[in-house]
C-alpha cells in the first residue's frame, strides 16, 4: 500500500512528528507527507526490565513521546494538532536493549557485542489522533505498532571498530551505528525493512494509515487487562500511584501490529480522582519555562555554547559570570525544556545547544529570535506582571511597569539613544526574519511590479519579497530615525530592488506602488488612527492595487488557544482581529478580500484588492464574493 492515496485524507490536517531525528524527517518527507516537527520532551527513562518484550518498550516510549507533544502543543505552541506521530528505535542482542551510546566506551561495548552476530532492530510507532470535543476538551486515540528487522554484522576488528567510533557517527544512533551511512560497512545482510533500521518503518506505517483512514467505522475490539500495570504506572512521573485502569486493545497481529485505541482526556469529563489535569499544570508552570528561556538568552548561554562544541558546567558558569549552583539549575531546566542537551564525555557531563537552539536562539544566527526574546523579557514580562490591574482598569500598565505612559515608552523606542532604538529594532527584525519568507510566499504576486512595505523597519520582510518575486521592487517606508539606523541590520548581500524612504505614515504622503504591505501594523492602532491610514491608502490605490495584511489572526469562534488573544491582554490602544473582522475593516475603505493563508508561522496573511466601484473585475480576476471559495491554503 502506498502513502500517496492517504495524503488526501490528511489534507488540511496539522500533522506533527514528535521527533528531532533527521532520518525520520527525511523518510517521511521523501514519502510526500507534509508535517511539522515538534520534538518530544518525554524523558526516555522507562524501566526496561518491566516490559516483557523489547518491542513493548519501544512502542510505549513512542506512545509517550507522541502523547506528550499532543498534550503540550495547544498550551505551549498555541495550536492543536490533528495527528501526532511518535517513534522509538532500539537494537536488541543477547536479550539486551541497546539504545544510543553515552560515550565512546559505551559505543565500543555495544559494537563489540554486535560483532559477528545477528541482532534485531525494533521500531515502535504511535499515531495519536486528536479530536476536539465540546468546550476545551480533546480526545486522544492511539494506534501503535512495531516492526522488526534482522541485521547481521561482520566480524569487526579493533581497528575497524575504533575507526568507526572516532568518526562520531555512533553517538546519536540506536545500537551505536547508522546503517544508511558509514555503519553500512559493518553489515553483512539485512532481513526485513531496511528503512526500519534507519529509524522508521515506512511500509508498515503506510499500511496503518490505510487502516485508519480507509477502514469501516466499526472494527472488532475487546477489552483486556494490561500485562504489566506496574510498568504503566511508571510511564509518567506525574501519575505515580495512579490506580490500575483498563484500556481498549486490539489483539496482537501476526505482523506485530497492536492497534491499541487508548482514549485519554487532557481536562477530562468523567475523570477519576487520580487523574492529573496536565493542561492546567502546564499553564501553572508556563511562566517558569518562559523565564528560563528569557534568562538563558539574557545571560548569553546559547551564544557561549555556540562558540564551543560543548562546555562543562563550570566553564559555562565562568563565561556567563554566574554561580555554579545557579548555572547548574538554569542549564538543567533548559535541558528539560529541550533547549539544551547534556551528554557524558570522559566521566563528566557537558552541555551543548540543541539544533533548534542553534538555529533560533543564538544571537547571530540568520533566523535568531534572540532580539524578540529579550524584548519580551525587558518589556512584555513587566507589563504582564500587572495583568490583574490591566483587567480591572482596562488600561495599559506601562506607567506601573516602567514609570512612563504608553506613548512615552513608544517615544523612547524611536527617539531615544541609539542603543535603545537598536534594541527595539532588533526585536522587530527578529520576528521579520523568521516570518518574512512565509509571508512573502503566501500568494502569487506576479501581477505586481512595485510594492511599499509600510512600517517596514529594517527591511527584513522587503528582502524576502524580492528574493521570491524576481519582478518586484520594494520601498520600505518608516520613520526617519528608523531608516537612519537600518545599516545595523542590512544583509551582507544587498539588493538594489529594495529602497528606503523616510516618513510618518499618519502624516506624510505614501510612496506610489502596485502593492502595499502592512505587516504587524494594524493591530497596534486605534480605530481612529486606522481610519486615517486606510483612507490614505484607499486614495493612493487605483483599481486592481493590492494590499497584503500580515497579522496573528484570531480564531473566528475564539475557541482555540491564540497568541493574539494573549497579546491583547497588554491593553494597547489597538486590538486583535479575526480574518472576517479584518475583511470588514478593509472593505469599508474599498478593499475586497481575495485570499487567506494560515502559514503555521508566527504571522498569517490576507490579500486584498482595491475594487473599481464601476467594475467589479480586478487585477487578479476574482469576484468580490470569492473569499468564500478562494483557496484556503
Helix (H, G, I), strand (E, B) or coil at 552: coil
> C-alpha grid cell for residue 196?
526500519
Which strands make up the sheet holding 498-502, listed edge to edge? 498-502, 473-478, 450-454, 515-519, 546-551, 604-610, 591-597
| Closest C-alpha among 146, 149, 263 to residue 208 | 146
Contact 23, 89 (CB under 8 A): no
| Closest C-alpha among 478, 471, 477 to residue 450 | 471
Helix (H, G, I), strand (E, B) or coil at 164: helix
What is the rounded CA–CA span in Å between residue 497 and residue 513?
A: 13
Burial label, 54 (beta-carbon count in 10 A; 0-12, 13-18, 19+) = buried
Helix (H, G, I), strand (E, B) or coil at 154: coil
> C-alpha grid cell for residue 318?
565562568
Burial label, 104 (beta-carbon count in 10 A; 0-12, 13-18, 19+) = middle
Between the alpha carbon of residue 126 and those of residues 14, 18, 29, 594, 632, the distances in Å are: 16, 10, 18, 40, 30
What is the rounded CA–CA span in Å between residue 112 and residue 195?
A: 23
Helix (H, G, I), strand (E, B) or coil at 52: coil
What is the rounded CA–CA span in Å between residue 245 and residue 267?
A: 18
| Closest C-alpha among 65, 212, 174, 335 to residue 327 | 335
Radius of gyration of the chain (CA): 27
> C-alpha grid cell for residue 443?
500568494
> C-alpha grid cell for residue 446?
506576479
Torsion 187-193-194-195 (CA) sign: negative
Active site residue ranges: 88
Instruction: Identify any residues that bridge with 98 across adjacent strands, giving them in sequence order.
Output: 91
What is the rounded CA–CA span in Å between residue 228 and residue 56?
A: 11
Instruction: Identify any residues that bridge with 518 across adjacent strands, giving them in sequence order.
Output: 549
Amino acid at each position: 500500500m502506498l502513502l500517496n492515496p492517504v495524503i488526501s485524507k490528511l489534507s488540511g490536517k496539522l500533522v506533527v512528528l514528535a521527533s528531532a531525528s533527521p532520518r525520520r524527517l527525511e523518510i517521511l518527507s521523501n514519502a510526500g507527507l507534509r508535517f511539522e516537527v515538534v520534538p518530544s520532551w518525554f524523558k526516555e527513562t522507562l524501566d526496561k526490565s518491566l516490559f516483557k518484550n523489547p518491542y513493548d518498550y519501544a512502542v510505549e516510549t513512542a506512545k509517550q513521546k507522541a502523547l506528550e507533544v499532543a498534550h503540550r502543543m495547544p498550551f505551549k505552541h498555541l495550536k492543536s494538532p490533528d495527528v501526532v506521530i511518535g517513534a522509538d528505535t532500539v537494537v536488541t542482542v543477547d536479550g539486551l536493549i541497546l539504545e544510543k551510546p553515552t560515550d565512546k566506551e559505551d559505543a565500543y561495548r555495544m559494537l563489540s557485542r554486535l560483532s559477528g552476530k545477528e541482532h534485531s532492530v525494533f521500531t515502535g510507532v504511535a499515531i495519536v489522533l486528536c479530536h476536539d470535543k465540546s468546550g476545551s476538551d480533546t480526545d486522544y486515540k492511539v494506534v501503535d505498532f512495531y516492526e522488526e528487522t534482522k541485521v547481521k554484522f561482520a566480524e569487526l576488528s579493533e581497528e575497524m571498530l575504533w575507526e568507526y567510533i572516532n568518526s562520531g557517527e555512533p553517538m546519536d544512533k540506536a545500537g551505536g551505528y547508522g546503517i544508511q551511512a558509514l555503519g553500512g560497512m559493518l553489515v553483512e545482510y539485512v532481513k526485513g525493512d531496511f528503512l526500519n533500521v534507519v529509524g522508521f518503518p515506512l511500509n508498515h506505517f503506510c499500511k496503518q494509515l490505510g487502516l485508519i483512514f480507509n477502514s469501516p467505522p466499526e472494527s472488532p475490539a475487546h477489552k483486556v487487562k494490561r500485562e504489566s500495570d506496574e510498568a504503566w504506572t511508571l510511564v509518567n512521573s506525574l501519575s505515580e500511584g495512579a490506580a490500575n485502569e483498563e484500556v481498549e486493545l486490539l489483539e496482537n497481529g501476526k505482523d506485530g501490529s497492536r492497534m491499541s485505541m487508548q482514549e485519554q482526556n487532557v481536562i477530562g469529563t468523567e475523570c477519576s480522582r487520580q487523574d492529573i489535569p496536565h493542561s492546567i499544570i502546564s499553564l501553572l508552570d508556563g511562566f517558569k519555562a518562559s523565564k528560563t528561556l528569557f534568562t538563558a538568552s539574557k545571560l548569553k548561554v546559547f551564544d557561549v555554547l555556540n562558540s564551543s562544541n560543548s562546555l562543562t558546567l563550570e566553564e559555562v558558569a565562568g563565561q556567563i559570570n554566574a554561580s555554579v549552583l545557579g548555572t547548574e539549575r538554569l542549564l538543567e531546566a533548559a535541558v528539560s525544556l529541550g533547549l539544551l542537551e547534556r551528554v557524558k564525555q570522559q566521566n563528566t557531563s557537558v552541555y551543548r545547544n540543541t539544533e533548534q537552539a542553534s538555529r533560533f536562539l543564538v544571537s547571530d544566527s540568520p533566523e535568531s529570535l534572540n532580539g524578540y526574546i529579550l524584548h519580551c523579557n525587558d518589556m512584555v514580562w513587566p507589563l504582564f506582571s500587572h495583568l490583574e490591574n490591566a483587567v480591572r482598569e482596562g488600561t495599559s500598565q506601562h506607567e506601573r511597569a516602567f514609570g512612563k505612559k504608553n506613548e512615552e515608552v513608544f517615544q523612547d523606542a524611536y527617539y531615544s539613544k541609539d542603543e535603545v532604538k537598536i534594541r527595539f529594532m532588533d526585536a522587530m527584525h527578529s520576528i521579520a526574519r523568521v516570518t518574512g519568507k512565509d509571508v512573502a510566499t503566501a500568494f502569487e504576486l506576479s501581477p505586481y511590479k512595485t510594492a511599499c512595505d509600510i512600517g517596514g523597519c529594517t527591511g527584513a520582510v522587503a528582502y524576502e519579497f524580492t528574493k521570491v518575486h524576481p519582478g518586484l521592487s520594494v520601498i520600505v517606508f518608516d520613520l526617519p530615525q528608523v531608516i537612519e539606523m537600518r545599516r545595523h541590520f542590512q544583509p551582507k548581500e544587498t539588493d538594489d530592488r529594495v529602497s528606503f524612504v523616510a516618513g510618518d505614515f499618519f502624516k506624510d504622503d505614501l510612496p506610489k506602488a502596485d502593492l502595499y504591505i502592512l505587516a504587524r501594523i494594524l493591530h497596534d492602532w486605534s480605530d481612529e488612527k486606522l481610519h486615517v491610514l486606510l483612507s490614505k491608502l484607499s486614495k493612493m490605490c487605483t483599481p486592481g492595487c493590492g494590499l497584503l495584511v500580515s497579522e496573528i489572526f484570531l480564531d473566528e469562534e475564539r475557541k482555540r488557544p491564540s497568541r493574539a488573544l494573549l497579546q491583547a491582554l497588554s491593553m494597547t490602544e489597538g486590538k486583535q482581529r479575526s480574518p472576517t473582522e479584518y475583511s470588514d475593516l478593509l472593505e469599508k475603505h474599498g478593499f475586497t478580500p481575495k485570499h487567506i493563508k494560515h502559514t503555521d508561522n508566527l504571522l498569517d496573511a490576507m490579500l486584498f484588492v482595491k475594487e473599481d466601484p464601476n467594475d467589479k473585475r480586478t487585477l487578479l480576476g476574482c469576484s468580490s464574493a470569492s473569499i468564500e471559495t478562494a483557496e484556503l491554503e
